[in-house]
A and B are shown apart, each in its own frame.
Chain A
Amino acid sequence: MDDLRIGTIKRKEKVKLLVNGKEVPAYKGETILAALMAAGYKKLKRSPLKKESRGALCGMGVCFECMVTVNGIPNIRSCMTEVENNMEIGTDE
């Protein structure tokens, strides 16, 4: 998959994420949302009534549209949480 990371930034420590069971590369210091975006994930959750696909909107912890499941805990704002090695992320595509 295409990597959307900006090439001019030399990254340091690589970590491994499991997104819906699939291995996705990430780097220490990135937010979960950044790692998901870099790997091309846009659909993160479903809306409550219409069950439409939703993705991140504000990127700064206000809108709660980027919520994912992290290590089994639901409703975590991916824009406000940093990646950790072997983190298991679940999206509701």
Chain B
Amino acid sequence: MNDKEKKYNVVIVGSGFSGAVAADILAGHDLDILLVDENIHLGGQLLRKIPPELGDHSSYRPDHVKKIGFRFVENIKNKKITILNRTCMVGIYPDNRLLLESERNEVFAVSYDVLLFATGARERFLPFRGWTLPGVYSTGLVQVMMKSSGVLPDREMLIAGSGLFLFSVGYEFLKNKGKLLGIMEQTGMMDKVKMLPLLFHQFSKFAEGAKFLSRIYLSGVPVRYRRAVVEARGKDSLEEVVVGKVDSDGKVIEGTEKIYKTGTLGVGYGFVPNVEGPQLAGCDLEFSDSKGGWIVKVNGALETSVENILAAGEITGVGGAFKSINEGKIAALTILDKFEKVGKDDHLRQLKRLTKEREHHMEFVHYFNSLYKIPGGAVKVIPDDTVICRCEDITMGAVKEGLGMGFNTPRALKTAVRVSMGNCQGRTCGPVIYDILSILGKQERESIGPFLVRPPLKPVSIGAMAKYNK
């Protein structure tokens, strides 16, 4: 081991809700804590606001749960914690050492007694012809531009996909005087109504959704259910979007197509947990459609299958802020217990209360993910000329050809047609390939097995690695 390598009692990867909450609780217990986050600012994907150095945005009013989140983020900045933002996990060694890359592209290792993964989730995509055209953005990007940098993606835009997040982004766009041409929802309105009773479990979520919906309906923006993007067209950037009515299996009904002239389209199809770090660390994963796909397997104390590695937040089931706060607390409690910083009785009492809370959040997880369910037919209709793997320009036709030759696992398909081999390492196309392998390959998702991950988890320059090895 290198002498220069810093040793920490606890290393937390990810500073979103659960990471920030855990860090805040653990601080002040005489533990050396390191919090790393790949992003410029702490807070993950949900806790975004205009940075003070950019400008004054005093009119911004975060909702209740975000207020709590921002408070945790502000707290930890002032506590005795080492914080490394713009720092990314690239690898892990079996002897409790984590390999990181700093913003200056320096690769270095740190050692830990306990590691907490709180790596959050990313957006999920459903390819259609033309989705690679500049001007087709994820709804997340549209939100990030407005909330973190105060920039509209365009004066007018169309939104398509599935789930409540479309409405959240539409609301923000309207609020900032954007012209919203419409929201095209893949699922049916009745699918949502059927699930309403479940949503009452989390009243503030319900109220938030109602606020978004009412603002959008009152503004006269067309909201259409059972609609999907058939094609995005344009010479070398987006010019028009063809939208069609779909049946319950997601197949477009011929003759229902409508053309929207726009240079910007926001698309979102739900969220995928970022399990690559835990996976590289050897943590067991499990597949659960209703928890967002492949998630990290944890026990009630949020311990993974690997000793002294914990997981919290979206990676144990995509469920938003409340669940992440709860799990941040549970993870912190488990860690305090490991270091004997909490009394046995106190520990058990707190764990019992938090576990009860967690069960309640898990009910919401199932509801939340069912809102984003992509019907099987939607994958079957992807045209052969459509790019699936954007990094390597691999089309649906090539993927199908590989599948036809018997390459029916992510690993085999990767080797055969280079799909998911590029810069993003399958983070964008991986979930789509899953759908293709399960629906076209007629396999149970659980039996397909997760994508293989390899170090470095994110591209690192050879120069940076060479310097580290010196």
Contact = CB atoms under 8 A, between A and B. Distances in A.
Interface of A: 2, 4-6, 8-13, 27-31, 33-35, 37-38, 42-44, 47-50, 52-65, 67, 75, 79-80, 82
Interface stretch (B7-15, B47-55, B324-332): B47-55
Given A37-B145, A62-B424, A63-B390, A55 B134 contact: yes
Best-buried of B45, B134, B422 by chain A (most CB within 10 Å): B134
Closest 8 CB pairs of A and B: A29-B54, A59-B141, A55-B134, A34-B149, A64-B423, A49-B393, A42-B134, A11-B55
A58 to B, nearest CB: 5
A45 B53 CA distance: 29
B390 to A, nearest CB: 6
A36 B45 CA distance: 21
B51 A29 contact: yes
Contacts of A50: 387, 393
Contact of B236 (A9, A53, A60, A62): A53
A56 B423 CA distance: 14
B132 interface: yes
B163 interface: no
B151 interface: yes
Contact of B153 (A37, A49, A60, A64): A37
Contacts of A56: 134, 137, 141
A63 B428 contact: yes
Nearest to B134: A55
B113 interface: no
Contacts of A4: 151-155
B396 to A, nearest CB: 14
Given A29-B55, A47-B393, A57-B141, A9 B134 contact: no
Nearest to A4: B152
A33 B150 CA distance: 12
B202 interface: no
Contact of B134 (A5, A10, A30, A43): A43
Contact of B392 (A28, A29, A48): A48
B40 A62 contact: no
27 contacts: A4-B153, A4-B154, A6-B152, A11-B150, A12-B53, A28-B53, A30-B54, A31-B148, A33-B145, A43-B236, A49-B392, A54-B390, A55-B135, A56-B134, A57-B137, A57-B141, A57-B428, A58-B140, A59-B140, A59-B142, A62-B123, A62-B424, A62-B428, A63-B390, A64-B422, A75-B459, A80-B38
A80 B103 CA distance: 10
Best-buried of A34, A48, A59, A64 by chain B (most CB within 10 Å): A59
Contacts of A11: 54-55, 150
B237 interface: yes
B53 to A, nearest CB: 4
Given A29-B51, A37-B151, A6 B39 contact: no
A76 to B, nearest CB: 10
Interface in B149-170: 149-155
Contacts of A53: 133-134, 236-237
B454 interface: no
A63 B59 contact: no
Interface of B: 38-40, 45, 50-57, 59, 86, 122-123, 132-138, 140-146, 148-155, 176, 236-238, 263, 387, 390-393, 422-424, 427-428, 459
Contacts of B153: 4, 37
B372 to A, nearest CB: 16
Best-buried of A6, A13, A35, A79 by chain B (most CB within 10 Å): A6
A48 B151 CA distance: 29
A30 B149 contact: yes
B55 A60 contact: no
A52 B132 contact: yes
B276 to A, nearest CB: 10
B428 A34 contact: no
Contact of A54 (B45, B53, B132): B132
A15 B59 CA distance: 24
Given A42-B135, A80-B38, A60 B45 contact: yes
B55 A12 contact: yes
Contacts of A44: 134
Contact of B56 (A9, A33, A54, A75): A9
B144 A60 contact: yes
B427 A62 contact: yes
Contact of A6 (B122, B142, B151, B392): B151
Nearest to B146: A6
Contacts of A37: 145, 151, 153
Given A9-B56, A34-B151, A37-B153, A52 B141 contact: no
A5 B153 CA distance: 9
